[in-house]
Amino acid sequence: MKTCQQIFSAFCVFLMLVPAGHAQAPVPGAQPPELPQLEEGVGPWYRATAPYRGREVRPINLANSGRLDQLVRAGIIYLSLQDAIAAAIENNIDIEVQRYGPLLAELDLRRARAGGLIRGVTSNIFGGQQNFGATAGGAGTGAVQTNQSLNQFLGTQIPSLDPVITSTVSWAHRSQPQSNTIATGVSALVTEIGQANFGVQQGFLTGTNVSMNFNNPFIDQNAFRNDLNPTRSPFLQLQMTQRLLQGFGLAVNRRNIRIAGNNIRVADLTLRNQIITTVADVTRLYWDLVSFNEEVGVRRQALALAQRLYEDNKKQVEIGTLAPIEIVRAEAEVAAREQELTTAETNVLQQETLLKNSISRTGNFSPQVADARIVPTDRIRIPATEPVEPIQDLVGRALENRPELQQSRLNIDNARINLTGLKNALLPSIDAFVDLRNNSLAGQINTQTGPPGSPLLPRNPDQFFVGSYTTALGQIFRRNFPDYAFGAQLNIPLRNRAAQADFANAQLTVRQNELQFQRQSNGIRVEVQNSLIALQQARARHRAAEKSRQLAEQTLDAEQKKYQLGASSIFFVIQAQRDVANAQFAEVQALTAYARARVQLEVATGTVLERNNISIEEAKAGRISFAPTPIPNNR
């Protein structure tokens, strides 16, 4: 029996020595680029106090990457679409904000591995379609949100997995009047009590809590009838509690660790979604800037035609072949074209400001960026033929690639993991406990005497107890006075309505999220379908606009020839000029609509980064490897 007791005691001590980190399997997840680092130090004292030092986070960096400096030439930023995307990935503030998400999620995992509550992550992103006009199917792109922040406070409590050292050192002086002096021999018992107690406790993922305490009480009294005074009675105590129903098992106690591991992937997908959104936004901004520059060219050409007509009319009025009112008519047309040109040029300035803000960390606060003009080096090209791909393949690619859909799957998985804790909380609580304690007693023979006239008491204490502190320690480790206790504690709620309501509520929330996930999937299918239709419509629109522009140019040429021969009037010439300008502007708008439809289809199918040859790993790190595009020779 004694051998079994020793084996069991050694097993309990071994459990206490096993770190909490060894009790769970590693959780897969994306590794963050950099976690907060502890300040470097040397020496055993620094290493011993390292867990109690704050980890300093590196300050934010508002300096732009060197790519922008390489693109600026004489106050002009020669910008290709590829360079605009690369500069945005390296410098965009929205992406930089989301890069902290995986770091926060990793720290949340550390909290979960210590048995603490997790803070959760957010899947909200900045920018997106709302800044550029709504598109059909956009309602299906939001991530399914779960109430995991609330649910982790419900259900079975998770034990603390980090070991804790406890210590109590105290001294007390007590004076107690005595109604009976037979036991103490004095009418006022004066006691000095000192203690130096130490202990260590730790919880485990199995639902086990182990604590070991070493208490050292010291008592000195004025009771002259005590055989020993002062006395020391240290004891060593090992306590272990094992939850047998509620709170039992790895599945219940590891749920926050699993959720935190999933949250790392959610934060990583949020960063990916932000990169995709920003790349799509910058692409739209870039093509809009190209469109506005093309509009400036159209407006300038219209102004040149109006000015040439004005000069021709002025000459004809001077020689008397044309009525003076035609000069006024031509002047009005010049003023209208000048106003349109001014609007087009200011639109370019506004679009440049938006694009600069997307590709720079400080936006227009940097004088080098604010004062520079952007010259886009790419043009919108419509291929002769569109690649034909079945709609089923496009939808399948979207369902596979869209980050928000993957986030929704993980959030639903987290909600199901939370169900384990809420379901376990329905069970009664049965806790088995074991208490092992080794007692001791040692002290010096009491030399105090009673009041004058009191008889001398014989001092014949057992010599086994006479001694110093080492005598008491010997008794402890020889286990001369052991205590044993074991048992179980049972708590059975009679109605258990709160736990049942929590579990039912969590199940309803999971079902609700599953329906929202299906709605999100349906919305993505609609978005892909509508984006493909919009691309086809934009292509047809451009074809019609191109034909209309050719017809308007030929009509203007014919009208000018007729006017020179006297077979037409200035009114029809001006009208033909307006038709040409409108047709050219419509063609520019059709090109822009095609470019935006192409981007939207890439967003809908989740292929934005692939289409632009962007490595997701480089994008997450904020360092794009390819060099800036060389400036064209014709610039």
Does residue 277 lie within any of the structural domains? Answer: yes
| Ranges of the chain with pLDDT below 70 | 1-42, 128-153, 453-458, 632-635
Structure tokens belonging to residue 233: 């009675």
For 127, phi then psi, to 5°, come to 85, -150
Instruction: Quote the pLDDT of residue 138.
Output: 34
Instruction: Quote the pLDDT of residue 566.
Output: 77
Residue 506 shares a structural domain with residue 369: yes
Instruction: Quote the pLDDT of residue 124.
Output: 87
Residue 136 shares a structural domain with residue 173: no
Residue 423 shares a structural domain with residue 447: no
Does residue 153 lie within any of the structural domains? Answer: yes
Residue whose pair of structure tokens reads 């980064």 in the numeric block: 609
Residue whose pair of structure tokens reads 């105290």 in the numeric block: 170
CA nearest neighbour of 190 among 233, 224, 215, 217: 224
Residue 598 shares a structural domain with residue 509: yes
Does residue 530 lie within any of the structural domains? Answer: yes
Instruction: Quote the pLDDT of residue 44.
Output: 81
Structure tokens belonging to residue 122: 């957010």
Question: Which amino acid type is present at position 226?
Answer: N
Residue 402 shares a structural domain with residue 325: yes
Residue 177 shares a structural domain with residue 102: no
Does residue 127 lie within any of the structural domains? Answer: yes
Does residue 55 lie within any of the structural domains? Answer: no
**Which CA distances in Å does 76 have to 92, 374, 500, 576?**
20, 6, 67, 36
3-state secondary structure of 29: coil
Instruction: Quote the pLDDT of residue 151.
Output: 57
**Is 490 exposed, middle or buried, given 0-12, 13-18 or 19+ CB atoms closer than 10 A?**
exposed
Does residue 3 lie within any of the structural domains? Answer: no
Instruction: Quote the pLDDT of residue 73.
Output: 84
Instruction: Quote the pLDDT of residue 268.
Output: 94
Cα 190 to the center of its chain, rounded Å: 62
Does residue 35 lie within any of the structural domains? Answer: no
Residue 222 shares a structural domain with residue 126: no
Residue 454 shares a structural domain with residue 596: no
Q: What is the pTM of this model?
A: 0.82
Cα–Cα distance, 580 to 551 (Å, whole number): 9
With the C-alpha atoms ordered 310, 315, 321, 325, is the resulting torsion angle positive or negative? positive
Does residue 511 lie within any of the structural domains? Answer: yes
Residue 513 shares a structural domain with residue 627: yes
Instruction: Quote the pLDDT of residue 61.
Output: 83
3-state secondary structure of 615: coil
> Exposed e or buried b for every residue in 451-464, given b needs 16+ CB within 10 A?
eeeeeeeeeeeeee
Instruction: Quote the pLDDT of residue 325.
Output: 86
How many independent structural domains does the chain possess? 2
> Domain span at residue 129?
80-161+254-436+498-635
Residue 611 shares a structural domain with residue 585: yes
Angle CA 511–513–518, to nearest 5: 100
399: domain CATH number? Answer: 1.20.1600.10
Give 634's strand partners. Answer: none
Cα–Cα distance, 526 to 504 (Å, whole number): 33
**Which CA distances in Å does 375 have to 7, 126, 278?**
81, 27, 21
Residue 229 shares a structural domain with residue 274: no
Question: Which one-letter DSSP state was computed for residue 600?
Answer: H
> In terms of DSSP bridges, do strands 373-376 and 76-79 run parallel, antiparallel, or are they unpaired?
parallel
382, 591 contact by CB (below 8 A): yes
Residue 186 shares a structural domain with residue 100: no
Structure tokens belonging to residue 414: 């987290």
